[in-house]
Structure 1
């Protein structure tokens, strides 16, 4: 790097940004890829052909227009949007998280979330110049109600995030505790339902009871991680305020059309989710039978498992061409934990065999 470039970076790039690590994505070519909670299934050939023909007719020479409104309407129908509620779109949930931080960046504002949790809550807060308050979960990965209530009373956060189910622990928090935290929150509460297709319950049924709660979802776990589409719903007056900071045309016409196509064929994605839920149960049973391995209950398309030596097991499995996620350094509660994505039956067989061989 030249001295000129070093000078420019030192002078004009924020010091906290220079000190940060970027979001790490593991190389996965040639691997059984079970590290990122993706839906492992592609569309059947007939649907792939139909989607290709449909996308070929999209006017990519024009900015996104009324078709985005069609997508909002389709999603509203899909979730059963309550009366008086609005819905906004994001380029994945990540963009919505960033937009929320931008919209709530009043002097002295902070964002609060349980830890371990989704890393983007903290990253978006810090990039926007907001304080981030992380409240550790209990040892059983349940919300620490007393600690959450105390932290909210002390810091008065603008936003409280509750992932439902949580990432990377994969559990649904106790509903009674969630409700007491929601009731006590001084600002917005965002219920992040990224893994809703695999969960036994949703907060959508309760959201209409509250005027300060937003529910955020994504089509990534639905089966469309590649198109980057998230959405958020809540009282229309609140959604309208946050929507003001959304960049114009943030969702492409191709992404919108692919999402509309998927919603029209949601029975296929429901079929895929049913297989993954069944495979999740099979995986948990197989992991439970392995010496020294403790899988935790899951309501997502991932399983958190505590193992004798996470770093060594991760490396051994990678050498056997099975890629999982070593989360053991993310938080002390995750010591010696791996996060395993639920794959196809064939991929899960390979993961089980690789783990057995690596442990031996």
Structure 2
């Protein structure tokens, strides 16, 4: 495909775009056409036919000609009941966690503000900081993908970040950070007056939630925001994230939220899913069981190193990540090659846990591609 020539008017208009934005690369989603898609940590299970029909009827009855009304409040009430929202905490809804990350950056966008996070981690923390004009400081994890507590404490003391992101479990490493180290970092960040954002995107598959820590010691978490998404719950296509925070913090973050950011379709799909939460919990249980089988099978492959997982993904190191990725794609299986994301991820691949048939096909493609 040829590229159309750029007119003089367009070139002059481009000069008004920020130079750093023009130098950026857009977030690219891999094409999965004709491939088994195991690159994006999606729940592989859809709704049962009866629930599909029931949801379709509900969506068809919505007044899509009207702006959203009280749907967001009803959804907040349903989420509060679902998570057993602690006293003194409030909810903020977002169009996926990505929007919530942007809202947090906007709310904390003061001159000289910094965002701090361990690396490798979720790419949107750094990208959001750049787009908001905030400084971003990344602190490498150790070789086992655990927090380098000494380095993190030093970075907090030096940079005094407005926001400290701690993903629990982490993406793309899939592990839970050491809880004692987390507590000390949370305390240090609070002592210098910053916020902590604990990102629990993969909570349905983890053995522990930091929400239990907030309930156990609310006084130590007055500066902590806990963020979740319904994407891994099974609604990646719906784009619905939420955060819970002390009421005063939530009220300020909510001020920068765009009006009507949650559509009536998003809200109704989420309400419907929460009404049938047992279906999604059964799916998560199946995925957790499949994860154990997948890890065991991967550990038996020669030349492959596998890390423990508390998410619906598995991180592994192979002798040649580029060759293995290309070989698997040629065999019809799409995974994520994360080997270039960070030096600690050299020759690493990230696999999404799928159905038993998906995982068998993925394993066969990997074995043939090593």
Q: Is 1:234 matched with 2:245? A: yes
TM-score, with length taken from structure 1: 0.99
SS at match of 2:236: helix
Instruction: State how 1:34-113 maps to structure 2 within 5 Å.
Output: 34-113=38-117
Aligned mate of 2:329, from 309, 318, 327: 318
Instruction: State how 1:84-233 maps to structure 2 within 5 Å.
Output: 84-185=88-189, 186=192, 187-207=194-214, 208-209=218-219, 210-233=221-244
Q: Give, in angstroms, the shift of residue 3 of structure 1.
A: 2.9
Q: Give, in angstroms, the shift of residue 148 of structure 1.
A: 0.3
Taking the aligned partners of 2:172 and 2:12, their CA distance within structure 1 comes to: 39
Structure 2, unpaired ranges of 5+: 1-5
Aligned mate of 1:268, from 254, 271, 279: 279
Q: What residue is the counterpart of 2:3 in the other structure?
A: none
TM-score, with length taken from structure 2: 0.96
Aligned mate of 1:5, from 10, 25, 34: 10
SS at match of 1:150: helix
Q: Give, in angstroms, the shift of residue 205 of structure 1.
A: 1.1
Instruction: State how 1:300-315 maps to structure 2 within 5 Å.
Output: 300-315=311-326
The alignment covers a number of residue pairs equal to 358
Q: What residue is the counterpart of 1:257 in the other structure?
A: 268
Taking the aligned partners of 1:31 and 1:6, their CA distance within structure 2 comes to: 39
Taking the aligned partners of 1:101 and 1:131, their CA distance within structure 2 comes to: 11
Q: Deviations over 1:179-217 (max 9, x none)?
A: 000000030000000000000000011223411000000
SS at match of 1:125: helix
Indicate the RMSD between aligned Cα atoms, in angstroms: 0.6
Q: Give, in angstroms, the shift of residue 84 of structure 1.
A: 1.1
Q: Deviations over 1:109-137 (max 9, x none)?
A: 00000000000000000100000000000
Q: Give, in angstroms, the shift of residue 7 of structure 1.
A: 2.2
Structure 1, unpaired ranges of 5+: none
Q: Deviations over 1:322-350 (max 9, x none)?
A: 00000000000000000000011111110
Q: Detail structure 1 runs of 4+ shifted over 4 Å in the superposition.
A: none
Taking the aligned partners of 1:80 and 1:312, their CA distance within structure 2 comes to: 47
Q: What residue is the counterpart of 1:289 in the other structure?
A: 300
SS at match of 1:226: coil
Q: Deviations over 1:272-303 (max 9, x none)?
A: 00110001011101111111111110000000
